[in-house]
Amino acid sequence: MSQAIPDKQLLHLVFGGELTNIQSVEFKDLDKLDIVGIYPNYAAAYAVWRGKAQQTIDNAHMRYFIVHLHRLLDPEATGAGAAR
- CATH numeric code, 15-69: 3.30.70.2400
**DSSP helix/strand/coil, 35:** strand
pLDDT of residue 38: 97
Residue ranges per domain, the chain?
15-69
- The model carries a pTM of 0.78
Per mean pLDDT, which range of 27-31, 40-44, 62-66, 75-79 is the poorest? Answer: 75-79
User: What is the average per-residue pLDDT within 6-11?
Assistant: 81
44 versus 77: which is more confidently predicted?
A: 44
